[in-house]
Amino acid sequence: MMNLAPEYAITCVAQLVRADLPLVVEFTSSRVKQRPMAARPGGIELAETRLPVRAVDIDAYPDLRRRFKINLLPTFIVLHDSAELARFVGPHSRRELAGAIRRALDPSMVMVQEPPRAKARWNDFTTRLWGFTSD
């Protein structure tokens, strides 16, 4: 197991359910050399609150890895009341995550009159992220 205090580690699905505020879950491995963000105090600071960050060791809990379809590490998933709100794959700084989570939780923060013209069709996540309705 990673060098992580027990209160910051997720060991079962029941620990993922929080109705009061979103939870940031970091999927990582004891084989990864980078220290998990969940091991650092403070969480993710948003405007008026801090979101807790918890870690899942995919080597110790492969059932959680399969349930959330984790293929790359680290993967950060924002959950609220057991529903996935956002997913971020790859290493991110705390500041990058805070900005991305703010945009994911409040798409009205992005002020764009019309979506940029794209050659491909927008997928559902991109459409919701930018606050537009899909065709």
CATH numbers and ranges of domains, the chain: 6-109 (3.40.30.10)
**Arithmetic mean of pLDDT, 78-100:** 87
The closest of 68, 108, 106, 107 to 88, measured between CA atoms, is 68
Q: What are the φ/ψ torsions at residue 66 (nearest 5 degrees)?
A: -70, -40
Residue 8: pLDDT above 60? yes
Tokens representing 93? 């700084």
Residue 46: pLDDT above 90? no
Tokens representing 54? 């918890």
Residue 48: pLDDT above 80? no
- What value does the mean pLDDT of the chain take? 79
**Arithmetic mean of pLDDT, 112-128:** 56
Tokens representing 118? 């794209």
Residue 80: pLDDT above 60? yes
Give dist(CA 50, CA 67) in Å, integer: 26
Residue with the two structure tokens 């950060």: 76
Task: Return the pLDDT at 68.
Answer: 93
Beta strands in the chain (DSSP E): 23-28, 44-45, 50-51, 53-57, 75-80, 83-89
Residue 27 pLDDT grade (very low, low, confident, very high; cuts 50, 70, 90) = very high
Q: Is the pTM of this model over 0.75?
A: no
Task: Return the pLDDT at 3.
Answer: 66
Residue 58: pLDDT above 90? yes
The closest of 12, 27, 16, 28 to 63, measured between CA atoms, is 12
Q: Are 57 and 2 in contact (CB under 8 A)?
A: yes
